[in-house]
Amino acid sequence: MKLLIVDDSRAARMLIKSILLDYDSGFELSEAENGAIAVDIYTQERPDLVFLDLTMPVMDGYEALEKIIKINSEAVVVVLTADIQQKSIERCMSLGAYRVLKKLPNKEVVYDLIDEIKQKSTESV
């Protein structure tokens, strides 16, 4: 499974990365520190799952989400943000996010999410 972690905070990327690798050390992980790099990586690598921060320099998460969904309307993008206001959540969901989680989520939430996504992908095959 290919995953992309997008956050301008190196520490946040490292934390998500460690949670993911604890779940499955076989994940193929890519990282980006802003939305513009994320869109480029998404275009080239087509990851199965994207973890996306909202507040970043160069291109924010909203714009990156919109571009990724234009590239692939079936893209699975999970927004990780400290901004959990209802307005922000609704905007993310309307742009095509799969889910919005409070940053930084605990391991169990991430593990359950991956299990759910794996289950959906096997059902659609």
pLDDT score recorded for residue 30:
96
Contact between 13 and 53 under an 8 Å Cβ cutoff? The reply is no
User: What's the pLDDT tens digit per position in 36-84?
Assistant: 999 999 999 999 999 999 999 999 999 999 999 999 999 999 999 887 7
Residue 96 Rama label (left phi>0; alpha psi -120 to 50; beta):
left
**Nearest to 16, CA basis, from 87, 111, 100:** 111
pLDDT score recorded for residue 105:
84
Q: Mean per-residue pLDDT for 21-47? A: 95
- Does the structure show a pLDDT above 70 at 125? no
CATH topology of domain 2-123: Rossmann fold (3.40.50)
